[in-house]
Structure 1
Amino acid sequence: MAYPSKLTPESILHAALPLLETDGPDALNMRTLAARLGVQASSLYRHYPDRAALMSSLEGYATLELHAEMVRATEEVAGPAARLKAAGHRYLTYAAAHPHLYALLLAPRQPAHAIPGPGKDLWNLVLRLVGEVSGDPDDTARTVALWAYLHGSALVGLSGLLGLSGDRGGFQIGLEALIVGFAAAQASTGTAVVTFSAD
């Protein structure tokens, strides 16, 4: 008789990922997941007390993945404006490639103080990239503006509202306009230089 491998939070999470990514959150329940792993559903509760805990872990995974993707996008890219542009494009690419995972990042929640963790790390990455362009290392206002633009663009793209033609370059135009505006904050010092690399 074959016995299933020892369960760990990581093995459960990685078994849940294809269920979520293929069929969406409604298809992901503890019974289905247990069947995929070849165990009883009760075995899962030793690692995740309920489905909400599993979904929270998947959200953390998505946040880490998006962070890593945006970091990779900025590597070997010269100039603050070009790095921010590259990160913005990678954000949209990730959302399009992983719509169900991405949706977890925008799930409704009660407002709360930010705490250390993947979400805070992702925010700090974008805050740093924006600050490198604007000259303000704690440029919360412009970072919020960029977040809103990225989130909105991703959701519009995923909704299908843009039709078969897509955004026809609208995302890039908007992103570059934001970056130029951020750089204008440094204009009075004469240090603002905006250079965009080719896509």
Structure 2
Amino acid sequence: MVYPAKLTAEAIVRSALDLLEGGGKEALNMRALAGRLSVQPSSLYRYYPDRAALVAALEDHAALSLHGALREASRDRLPREALSAAAHAYLDYARAHPHLYGLMLAPRPPAPAGPGPGKDLWNHVLHLVGAVTGIPDDTGAAVAYWAFLHGYVQLERSGGFGLSGPRGGFERGLKALIRGLAHPDEEKGEGGAGP
């Protein structure tokens, strides 16, 4: 039991994550969350004024954890190897946390990206891609990379590959994408040992 005096924003997010991961976005409501924490729903509003604020905190958590997974996977690797390892970490994260991933990348109206975990995640992807293309702020290439990853995840999640499965399509597509993004000097140099 969590007593209201000991209730924290972190405890609320942890319990909300359990609800989300266990039952999807539909299971995430303030009444169920309050019941899980053994508090009155009104106690939650002191930390999160509404469900949208709680969802935003969960999205931040998802961006932080995905960023950490990509950073860890790509650490101390040559550029092309780092980009490939990050892609596999992205796919692993989406598979391990489907509801959290879905929440983070749910459709929403375009808006300027302010500072925060989502922007930090994007900047890391931009850095990894830029190390391969040779262009530090290569937004077009980063969008192509992210679109490939997200598209694959969505097709896999929806059963879009059918009974035959993707038949190595992820590896083949990833290798072709990275090869196509590679700066000519990077392809001949140290990063050429990648996929």
Name whichever of 42-51 and 187-196 sits farther off.
Answer: 187-196
* 1:19 and 2:25 aligned: no
Unaligned runs of 5+ in 1: none
Partner of 2:180: 181
Residue 109 (structure 1) shift: 1.8
Partner of 2:140: 141
Aligned counterparts of 2:21 and 2:191: Cα–Cα separation in 1:
41
TM-score scaled by length of structure 2: 0.92
Partner of 1:39: 39
| Cα distance, 1:164–1:140 mapped onto 2, change above 3 Å | same
| Cα distance, 1:179–1:189 mapped onto 2, change above 3 Å | closer
Aligned counterparts of 2:132 and 2:158: Cα–Cα separation in 1:
31
Partner of 2:57: 57
- Check conservation: 1:186, 1:192, Cα contact below 8 A: no
Secondary structure at the residue paired with 2:192? Answer: coil
Secondary structure at the residue paired with 1:65? Answer: helix
TM-score scaled by length of structure 1: 0.91
Residue 60 (structure 1) shift: 0.6
- Check conservation: 2:134, 2:186, Cα contact below 8 A: no
Partner of 2:171: 172
Aligned counterparts of 1:131 and 1:141: Cα–Cα separation in 2:
10
Secondary structure at the residue paired with 1:19? Answer: helix
- Check conservation: 2:152, 2:170, Cα contact below 8 A: yes
Secondary structure at the residue paired with 2:84? Answer: helix
Written as runs of structure 1 = structure 2, the 5 A alignment for 1:1-199 is: 4=3, 6-77=6-77, 79-163=78-162, 165-183=164-182, 185-187=183-185, 191=189, 193-196=191-194
The count of corresponding residues between Structure 1 and Structure 2 is 194
Aligned counterparts of 1:116 and 1:3: Cα–Cα separation in 2:
32
Residue 122 (structure 1) shift: 0.6
Unaligned runs of 5+ in 2: none
The one-letter code matched in structure 2 to 1:41 is P
Residue 168 (structure 1) shift: 2.1
The one-letter code matched in structure 1 to 2:94 is A
Secondary structure at the residue paired with 1:194? Answer: helix
- Check conservation: 1:180, 1:194, Cα contact below 8 A: no
| Cα distance, 1:165–1:21 mapped onto 2, change above 3 Å | farther
RMSD: 2.0
Aligned counterparts of 2:164 and 2:38: Cα–Cα separation in 1:
44
The one-letter code matched in structure 2 to 1:37 is L
CA offsets per residue over residues 155-175 of structure 1, 9 Å max, x none? Answer: 111112224553221111101
The one-letter code matched in structure 2 to 1:54 is L
Aligned identity (percent) is 56
